[in-house]
Amino acid sequence: MALRWGIASAGRISHDFMVGLKALPETEHKTVAVAARSLQSATEFAQTHDIPTAYGSYEELAGDPQVDVVYIGNITACHKDTVLLMLNNGKPVLCEKSLTASPQDTATLIKTAKEKNLFLMEAVWTRCFPAIIQLRKQIASGVIGEVKYVQANLGFRNPKLPGHMTDPKLKGSNILEVGVYPINFATMVFGERPESIETKGWLTDSGVDEFAAITLKYSGERVAQLTCSFNLNLPGEAYVIGTEGTLKLPQTFWCPSKLETPSGVLEFPLPTPCRPTVFVNSVGLCYEAEEVRKCISQGKLESEAMPLEHSQIVSEIAKTVIEQLGSCIYNN
């Protein structure tokens, strides 16, 4: 039987997630309901994406017995309450990054999911791309020797940012919106908490972090240097450098279709999207959806590609970085 999806939020990323789902076999994935803060928004979204049921509240979606798993695509400030609502109604959850705005809230969601014996995954789609899976295989094979250094950067110049991204009351944050990708990449490669964190950068006029240059020092003389911004265009590349060679993800490392290895460039073409997407390569959201289906079909409560422990580590690093920059979001 197909995994029956419910969609919580009718925003831009939920639109793109639907495009990703449409790239997968209908025999394996089916969207049965969508909910938004207004019934009109949900209805319009349902009509666009051929979803049979639209709800004007998340509570109605949580209570729908036809829904097997819920994708949550609202803003980070709302994630904790929405995820808890779904878990408390017996629904497995795939929740957009950042899972929450704080390590304490992330720990609460993980604890609740485990207590209720329900699947929970932070939707860090990067982890599920074929190019990333191959990168991890290359590292494990020892082809680049002992990994000593990771570098990743991501930033966009956007003078018309969505309001929630610069509003401290809504946990606006470059780190929580953009920086989680480089931080996640380093966490994936090194697989542990850093021994030290050092951050330089600046804030917006509203007191929200806008740019960060982060150095993470790990055990065994290993270092990650990460840069992120929602006010500068950065190359969007990532490097894993070992004692015997280098692996590189060129531009769009967070949703890659290529991997440069010591023996040559490997290409991983993405599926053709059924309609335009808001964000680059968003049809690749199909990979995380398929990861969820596989995990749930095998009775797993978390994904090996994006383990809950890594969500906790990334959340802890993000909070430290935000505090080192002097952001005021934890005062609101």
CA distances for 308 relative to 51, 109, 120, 184, 191, angstroms: 30, 10, 8, 12, 12
On whether the CB atoms of residues 262 and 246 are closer than 8 A, the answer is yes
Residue 32 lies in a domain: yes
pLDDT at 158: 82
Residue 291 lies in a domain: no
pLDDT higher than threshold 90 for residue 161: no
pLDDT at 159: 75
- Out of 86, 102, 125, a domain closes at 125
The tokens for 158 are 């956007």
The pLDDT tens digits for 40-89 are 999 999 999 999 999 999 999 999 999 999 999 999 999 999 999 999 99
pTM: 0.97
pLDDT at 8: 98
136 shares its domain with 168 = yes
60 shares its domain with 182 = no
User: Mean per-residue pLDDT for 6-22?
Assistant: 98
Give the rounded percent of residues in the chain with a pLDDT score beyond 90. 96
187 shares its domain with 324 = yes
Residue 175 lies in a domain: yes
The pLDDT tens digits for 311-320 are 999 999 999 9
The pLDDT tens digits for 103-136 are 999 999 999 999 999 999 999 999 999 999 999 9
pLDDT at 331: 87
Say which CATH number the domain at 58 has.
3.40.50.720
73 shares its domain with 201 = no
User: Mean per-residue pLDDT for 241-249?
Assistant: 98
- Out of 125, 142, 175, a domain closes at 125
| Strand blocks (E) in the chain | 3-8, 29-35, 53-55, 69-72, 93-96, 120-123, 147-155, 196-203, 209-218, 222-229, 238-242, 245-249, 258-261, 264-267
166 shares its domain with 260 = yes
The pLDDT tens digits for 200-244 are 999 999 999 999 999 999 999 999 999 999 999 999 999 999 999
pLDDT at 221: 97
On whether the CB atoms of residues 252 and 180 are closer than 8 A, the answer is no
DSSP per residue, 18-62:
HHHHHTS-TTTEEEEEEE-SSHHHHHHHHHHHT-SEEESSHHHHH
156 shares its domain with 107 = no
**Total residues found in the chain within this entry:** 332
- DSSP, collapsed to helix, strand or coil, labels residue 134 as helix
pLDDT at 278: 96
The tokens for 64 are 């729908």
39 shares its domain with 164 = no
The tokens for 78 are 């709302």
The tokens for 202 are 């600046």
**Could you give the number of structural domains in the chain?**
2
pLDDT band at 25 (very low <50, low <70, confident <90, very high): very high
Task: For residue 2, count CB atoms less than 10 angstroms from its CB and return exposed for 0-12, middle for 13-18, buried for 19 or more.
Answer: middle
pLDDT band at 332 (very low <50, low <70, confident <90, very high): confident
pLDDT at 100: 98
Q: Which structural domain, as residue segments, surrounds residue 162? A: 127-268+306-331
The tokens for 126 are 């990067």
